[in-house]
Amino acid sequence: MRKSLTKLTVISAISTSLLLSACSHQTEQTMKAEQTKVDYFADNALGNALAVVQHPAGIHLDGVTYVSYQGPLEDPYVASYNHKTKKWQGPFKAGISELGKSPDQPKKIDNHGKPTMLIDDLGYVHIFFGGHGGDERHGKNKLGNIHFGGNKHAVSKRPYDISEWEALDNISPFGTYNQAVKMDNGDIYIFYRHGAHRSDWVYQKSTDNGRTFEPAVSFLKHKKRTDIKANDSWYAWVGRGQGDDIIVSYDYHICWNGKANNGRGHTTERHDAYYMVFNTKTGSWRNVQGDQLQIPVTRETADEKTLVARTGGSGYWTFNGSAHLDENGYPHIATNIGKDLGAKTGGPKQTSYFRWNGNKWEGGNPVNVQSRINHTDTRGDFIVKSPTEVSFILGYQEDNDGVISYFDSHDGGKNFTKGEELLRRENANWALTTQIKNAHPDARLIVAEKQKGTNWRKVYLVGDNGPIKRNETESQLLTDQNKARLP
């Protein structure tokens, strides 16, 4: 009996030792995985998850950078990074989009409903998302036509806390390309196109931290042309100016009807560059010379009063970029220009740069000359350092690599040289936001890596030292269920 007990004791000891060893090995593997850092903070962004036009997509406030992107089922997701503790939170789903779920949706991935972010004076985080012009479920659009989805607004349940959200039904559902601006007095403006292509551009104003909004006001007019079978339409970029001003850069979209346009019908054809200013205190609009404008601005008024540059005639197309002011209050504008190669979406477009010198508009040179030679796209945003010094952060392709790099000019845009390279990935293409509002140098832009053969994107928070890293186990969010539900 004593021998049997001794034998059992030995066996038990061995089993315990093996179990402890296995647990220790498993714990070691888990710890190793948790300690492994990757340079993306999430891998579940969907489609064209980010863009220059929907902005700001991120905000830096009190040492924390808040970021947003389009995730599974085209719903908005929000994460945050604390620069002092170097800790990530989220991403959390901030709302439910009407896009990405219905079998009646015209396209598998719509991409127009990606989120725009704002933080009000009380610290609540707001997200505007989900619209591509609205549809008949929302009634009649009095300021344009319709397409799909519904523009939505959600707000965090607690200040600076992105873990829980509630929906607010207080903006028009007929919206897309949301852009949010908060003034020094706390007033909030949300700008967007009020419908599909043949629609006015409008703004709505809130004076109570986004809890209610005034009715939409048109500032760019869509209308039918009488000389050709097309409609006037627009694409705009809106940002803070000096004092009480909001600045607007925009391009003209010729919206072809039916089988017009030599049988091609509707395309994404856009031309030229324009600029104007909205004084929120007086409610007045003006051009760069100070002349007053009547809104909504028509194509005729835009050509006469607000034209920055013709961008190469009918053979060249534009995609409107961003605008920023220098220390003198003079505007600097980016716009993407490329030759129409006959495809429905046109050819590759390179970022070009214009600036107002106090008397006239100058520039038009490509920022990355090599991209024009190689016929590849460039997109991004820029920082104005002085009236004659700017730095662009561009995403582009170089050989088989996707690259994000600085390009700097010290002579008013006559010449640009490649600066610090921030990120490079093999076989990648990039979707980029504009600058994060009040950006920390370590976190200037949000970028999504676009790889062929998949609609899922890795998302990076990129600054002057490259991407901010995160534990691999925290960054891997894409589930088999989400993959299966991809339309």
Residues catalogued as catalytic: 112, 177
Which residue from 432, 385, 443 is spatially nearest to 60, judged by alpha carbons? 443
Provide the residue type at 127 as one letter: I
Instruction: Identify the helix (H) or strand (E) that includes residue 12.
Output: helix 2-35
- Burial pattern 155-182, b for ≥16 Cβ within 10 A else e, equals bbeeeeebeebeebeebbbbbbbbbbbb
Which residue from 358, 359, 356, 455 is spatially nearest to 413, judged by alpha carbons? 356
Q: 123: buried, middle or exposed (CB in 10 Å: 19+, 13-18, 0-12)?
A: middle
Q: Give the tokens for residue 485.
A: 């539900």
Q: 366: buried, middle or exposed (CB in 10 Å: 19+, 13-18, 0-12)?
A: buried
Instruction: Identify the helix (H) or strand (E) that includes residue 24.
Output: helix 2-35
Report the C-alpha gap between 106 and 422 in whole angstroms: 37
Handedness of CA 332, 379, 238, 437 (dihedral sign): negative
Report the C-alpha gap between 74 and 176 in whole angstroms: 14
Q: 392: buried, middle or exposed (CB in 10 Å: 19+, 13-18, 0-12)?
A: buried
- CA angle at 45 for the pair 40 and 46, rounded to the nearest 5°: 150
Residue 152: strand pairing partners: 129
Q: Give the tokens for residue 271.
A: 């031309």
Q: DSSP states of 345-393 as a string?
A: T-S--EEEEEEE-SSSEEEEEESSHHHHHHT--EEEEEEEEETTEEEEE
Which residue from 150, 71, 138 is spatially nearest to 105, judged by alpha carbons? 150
Residue 421: strand pairing partners: 405
Which residue from 134, 151, 73 is spatially nearest to 109, judged by alpha carbons? 73
